Amino acid sequence: MTLPLPGTGEPSLPEAPASGDMPPEEFRRRGHEVVDWMAGYLAEVGGLPVLPQATPGEVMARLPPSAPEVGEGFDEILRDFRATILPAVTHWNHPAFFAYFATTGSGPGILGEMLAAALNVNAMVWRSSPAATELEQLATAWVRQLVGLPEAFQGVINDTASSSTLYALAAAREALLPEAVEEGLGVAPRGRVYASSEAHSSVHKAVITLGLGRGGLRKVEADGAFRMDPGALARAMAEDVARGVRPLAVVATVGTTSTTSVDPVAEVAEVAAGHGAWLHVDAAYAGPAAALSELAHHFQGWERADSVVLNPHKWLFTPVDCSILYCRRPERLAMAFSLTPEYLRTREREEGGATDLMDYGVSLGRRFRALKLWFVLRWFGAEGIRARLREHLRLAALLAGWIEDEPGWELVAPVPFSTVVFRRVEEGLSPEEEGRLNLALLERVNRSGEAFLSHTALGGRVAIRLAIGNLRTGEAHVARAWELLRAAAAEREVAASLA
Amino acid sequence: MTLPLPGTGEPSLPEAPASGDMPPEEFRRRGHEVVDWMAGYLAEVGGLPVLPQATPGEVMARLPPSAPEVGEGFDEILRDFRATILPAVTHWNHPAFFAYFATTGSGPGILGEMLAAALNVNAMVWRSSPAATELEQLATAWVRQLVGLPEAFQGVINDTASSSTLYALAAAREALLPEAVEEGLGVAPRGRVYASSEAHSSVHKAVITLGLGRGGLRKVEADGAFRMDPGALARAMAEDVARGVRPLAVVATVGTTSTTSVDPVAEVAEVAAGHGAWLHVDAAYAGPAAALSELAHHFQGWERADSVVLNPHKWLFTPVDCSILYCRRPERLAMAFSLTPEYLRTREREEGGATDLMDYGVSLGRRFRALKLWFVLRWFGAEGIRARLREHLRLAALLAGWIEDEPGWELVAPVPFSTVVFRRVEEGLSPEEEGRLNLALLERVNRSGEAFLSHTALGGRVAIRLAIGNLRTGEAHVARAWELLRAAAAEREVAASLA
């Protein structure tokens, strides 16, 4: 494919002037070039290899080891972007990106991000950008209504679900281990957090960061469909309490990373409430699907949570990064994090009425992330968002049907959302051999550049994940990935029979 | 002023189509409109009021309480951006933005951010974007050389200094309290972190987050020039050790937030080393100035740190967010944070050679922040960056001279970098009256819309801060801010004499 690439053929401008910023007229001209490139990229990204054929160290080796002494022309910078960076980019905006969780940096989201970059505000306190603060409150309220969470939940935007979960669990620790607030965990009873064995690794990272130790997370058994077993949770909590451990929080997941399984949140909430523990719901990926009435059953009980994380940068078409942390009692977050030095005191804060969003997390610096989210919500509209989510569900169900109908392949988990988890099975293979086979098929498909899928392990057995979430993904892309997988398996069979 | 605003006069396009993303041709057209607006904004932002005349709740009240059911045209979205958002934006890219630390979202940085938004990659593992991972390693190495840190320091990019400091102190805790790694701080000796009373509030937030309690930070006395007193540090650490407390880390600051004072890092390093404590240097603001040979004395000893934080989004012309954490032993960060679930294992990782940047912090999701930084470094070049930093130093020295020469005003701290801290002094005023006077003068200037300054408190007395760091700031902007302050003071005097 030939993308309309900028900076070709034109004479290079003189170097950057010795003072000030790039001159506005050059910025305008370069901006138009870059937009043309971006539009071409978004139109034609499907023709690029999703996963690049790069080897570790290759990019660094192709670039100078030091910054230039004298500023360079923008043509040179774009030339290297095109020649060296682009061939080593994994194309997350590609319609056949099916790895991890597929995402979309959508057109309206990108345009919002462009404006935010030009404004370059920091929404740490209300005064440091009233519009950024209030649009964050508004856009998160819009999403809250879209997904049907109660009005009591107030949202703040963080970079990632990892941070959102860390902040939620910090609030839980501060609330439930008041003995530790002044002198630290050393003078408090031992606290613990509970999550299923299928919960995201960020929960464990948060627990470690909070000083609870690697053993501060107790992983609760999941059932055959990879859902937390509320009975096992109740037993684990009771056992710990009997040993003097104080349960701080339970993390329930709606849409786990491996299989997008759904913990029985209502039952988990009941168990958590019995111990007065904080309930955090990780709906980072699946949360937007709560906008669909036919999926309401997956979200039953999440309204009982103390906090919920939902990432618009996953399945809500918003460029990274944008993670919403909803908190039923945001003052609990502020209790954990509010420390206002004199240089951040403002009249609006002291006289009341203004919210300083820095109080709800660790990061003082806060980009104007609400702008892109607000652009996405307005441009697609609630109806448009629901239609697009439903299309992804339809594609996933279609693939699941093909897999079920095909001998030698099996679905290994239910498909509640837009991610399908499956494997190749062949008679007489040990789990290790089967694992190697599935990884080899996956690698073969990924190396083709036509699609990019990832894998997981379930009960010690490898499985292939195909996650759908990009707005450019159509039925043909899913069908082609499936065809590539079957072809790879068939070739292996032929090779084995000839060997 | 009249900015060339998009979306005026043109008929609205039909609503968003029912599937897929914004069509590429519409994206192209809207992108050009947005770039024209951005170019106009950057050219004319100096004509807008820096600080808006908004009141809390005003923006939210002017926008619908829910997302639209049906998608809207881009003209409508931009119309509201212009009519409702823009008048409530605090203009950080304004040449007379002198509050907090002044920053620049520069032209090349914005263009890099645009491309990153279109690519929308997540550099969590090498495979998920080889170019983003390696460019992050390269660009941080370029900055390292620019500021003269030893080669042993490896950089990773985080959102903010708050996160960078949190991660550094987490690594310190894991390394120095190995008893806590498995079972948490409850089974370990008490650990403590030391920083001067002038250190940034993010150090305290990090200590709290890490489970060390609010008392887990010991604030060490500063001297008359607001620098940490190494003798006081040594006494505090010895006293704590005698009581069974284990010193975990010392945070030295080069360029504190209130006055940009410089801790005596070499002496602090000596004291920290005596206790085997981790040395973290917070050079979030001032770090880039280490590129200037004439300022090398301020950075003496920082090469002995275990970790250093430096924010290109502060004084290195890079749009927010972009904070570099340099770590001499990055494996210590990985020891704290590395947890690799099966779904994130890759061949490149297992077979060696590839770095997975997710291992060096809490956030799994990682934007392609290196791209904008690399654009900035290339476009300005080392020489261009030094020239611009020197111009900011010149402007700050000029203002400091004017203040020194003016009766009724005093500098309250040395001016090692580009931030000037001063106050109005009048005979016979109590500290409270003097504080009210200075805040009133500040408020008067800020309300003019012509400049935006912030304040701090030093020894219980209010001081005004004027921070220089925007590439569009010229001598006239600084002179005008000074003129406004003097005029406000004169008016007060006249009013007082007539009363």
pLDDT at B154 over 70: yes
Nearest CB to A92; choose among B81, B122, B311: B122
B165 pLDDT band, cuts 50/70/90, is very high
What are the backbone angles phi and psi of residue A400, rounded to the nearest 5°?
-60, -40
Same CATH topology for A122-367 and A377-498?
A: no
User: If you search the block for the tokens 């045209």, which residue do you land on?
Assistant: B73
Checking if the pLDDT of A15 tops 60, the result is: no
CATH number for the domain running over B382-498: 3.90.1150.170
Tokens of A297: 């059953």
- DSSP characters over A468-493: ---TT--HHHHHHHHHHHHHHHHHHH
Find the helix or strand (DSSP H, E) in which A156 lies. Answer: strand A154-158
Helices marked H in A177-320 — which ranges? Answer: 180-183, 201-209, 230-242, 265-274, 312-315
pLDDT, tens digit, 9 for 90 and up, residues A219-233? 999 999 999 999 999
Distance from CA of B426 to the nearest CA of A (A): 22
Q: pLDDT tens digits, residue range B7-42?
A: 444 444 445 566 899 999 999 999 999 999 999 999
- Measured between CB atoms, which of A106, A137, A337 is closest to B21? A106
Contacts of B38 in chain A (CB under 8 A): 27, 31, 114-115, 118
* Beta strand B323-327 pairing with B154-158: antiparallel
CB B381 within 8 A of CB A67: yes
Q: Do B54 and A130 touch (CB under 8 A)?
A: yes
Output phi, psi for A18, to 5 deg.
Answer: -75, -10
Residues contacting B124, CB < 8 A, separation 6+? B344, B356, B357, B358, B364, B365, B366
The mean pLDDT of A191-214, rounded to a whole number, is 96
Joined together, the tokens standing for residue B95 give: 């040449």
Measured between alpha carbons, how far is A470 from A451 in angstroms, rounded to an integer?
13
Q: Do B86 and A135 touch (CB under 8 A)?
A: no
Give the residue among B475, B277, B481, B283 at the shortest CA–CA distance from B392. Answer: B475
The pLDDT score that the predictor gives to residue B409 is 98
Residue A327 φ/ψ region, left for φ over 0, alpha for ψ in the -120 to 50 degree band, beta for the rest:
beta
Residue for token pair 């950089």: B155
Give the pLDDT confidence score for residue A16 in this predicted structure. 56
Which of B85, B198, B136 shows the shortest CA–CA distance to B356? B136
pLDDT value of residue A495: 79
Q: Which residues of A touch B215 (CB under 8 A)?
A: 182-184
- Taking CA atoms, A302 is separated from A152, A171, A299, A363, B274, in Å, by 13, 18, 6, 27, 51
Q: Measure the N-to-C terminal CA separation of chain B; round to a whole number of Å.
A: 38
Q: Is A254 helix (H, G, I), strand (E, B) or coil?
A: strand
The ranges assigned to domains in chain B are 1-91, 110-376, 382-498
Q: Which fold, A122-367?
A: Aspartate Aminotransferase; domain 2 (3.40.640)
Question: For the purposes of burial, counting CB atoms within 10 Å of the CB of A102, is it exposed (0-12), middle (13-18) or buried (19 or more)?
Answer: buried
* Range B414-445 burial, b when 16+ CB lie within 10 A, else e: ebbbbbbbbbbeeeeeeeeebbebbeebbebb
Chain A nearest C-alpha distance from B265 (Å): 23
Optimal mutation site among A34, A158, A185, A465, interface B, most CBs of chain B within 10 A: A185
**Contact check, Cβ <8 Å, B363/A163:** yes
> Residue B117 and residue A120: Cβ atoms within 8 Å?
no
Chain B residues touching residue A43 (CB < 8 angstroms)? 24
Contact B160 A66 (CB under 8 A): no
Helix (H) or strand (E) holding B195: strand B191-196
pLDDT digits (tens, 9 = 90+) for B361-390: 999 999 999 999 999 999 999 999 999 999
- Residue A149 structure tokens: 């969470």
Averaged pLDDT, A105-109: 98
A102 membership: H or E segment, kind and range: none
- Among candidates A59, A343, A454 on the partner chain, residue whose Cβ is nearest the Cβ of B131: A59
| Model confidence at A296: pLDDT above 80 | yes
Structural element, H or E, at residue B268? helix B265-274
Instruction: Give the separation between CA A259 and CA A232, rounded to whole angstroms.
Output: 20
Amino acid at residue number A459: G
Cis peptide before B405 (omega within 30 of 0): no
Q: A83: pLDDT confidence band, cut at 50, 70 and 90?
A: very high
Q: What is the structure's pLDDT at A345? A: 74
Q: Per residue in A72-97, is it b (16+ CB within 10 Å) or e — as a string?
A: bbbbbbbbbbbebbbbbbbbbbbbbb
Q: Give the confidence band of A242 by pLDDT, cuts at 50, 70, 90.
A: very high
Query: Which sign, positive or negative, has the C-alpha torsion B469, B473, B478, B480?
Result: negative
pTM, entire model: 0.95
Tell how far CA A104 is from the center of its chain.
Answer: 11
Query: How large is the average pLDDT for residues A372-400?
Result: 98
**CATH 3.90.1150.170 corresponds to the domain A377-498:** yes
Of the candidates B20, B180, B381, which has its C-beta nearest A211's C-beta? B180
Closest approach of A423 to chain B, Cα-based (Å): 14
Helices (H), A45-179: 58-61, 74-80, 107-119, 130-147, 161-176
CB contact under 8 A, A320 and B20: no
Nearest-Cα distance to chain B for A438, in Å, is 14
Residue pair B131/A59 in contact (Cβ under 8 Å)? The answer is yes
**Preceding omega of A321 cis (within 30 degrees of 0):** yes
Q: How far is CA A460 from the centre of its chain?
A: 25
A193 - beta bridge partners? A217, A249
pLDDT tens digit string along B106-146?
999 999 999 999 999 999 999 999 999 999 999 999 999 99
Query: Cβ distance B246 to B192 under 8 Å?
Result: yes
Rounded Cα distance, A128 and A132, in Å: 9
**How many Å apart are CA B403 and CA B415, to the nearest integer?**
12
Question: Does the distance separating the beta carbons of A320 and B365 come in below 8 Å?
Answer: yes
Q: What is the pLDDT of residue A10?
A: 45
Chain A nearest-CA residue for B135: A60
CB B279 within 8 Å of CB B252:
yes
Decide if pLDDT at B440 tops 80: yes
Give whole-number Cα distances, B276 to B247, B282, B335, in Å: 8, 19, 18
Q: With contacts defined as CB-CB under 8 Å, which chain B residues touch A69?
A: 381-383
The predicted pLDDT at position B16 comes to 55
Contacts of B77 in chain A (CB under 8 A): 108, 375, 378-379
Question: Is there a contact between B132 and A317 if contact means CB atoms under 8 Å apart?
Answer: no
Are A279 and A195 spatial neighbours (Cβ–Cβ below 8 Å)? no
Angle at which helices A161-176 and B201-209 pack, to 10 degrees? 70
Minimal Cα–Cα distance from B498 to chain A, Å? 28
Structure tokens at A440: 């080899």
Residues A261, A198: contact at Cβ < 8 Å? yes
Nearest C-alpha in A relative to B384: A18
Q: What is the pLDDT of residue B2?
A: 42
Q: Which CATH number fits domain B1-91: 1.20.1340.10, 3.40.1010.10, 1.10.3720.10, 3.30.230.10?
A: 1.20.1340.10
What would the CATH number be for the domain defined by B110-376?
A: 3.40.640.10
Written as one letter, the residue type at A313 is H
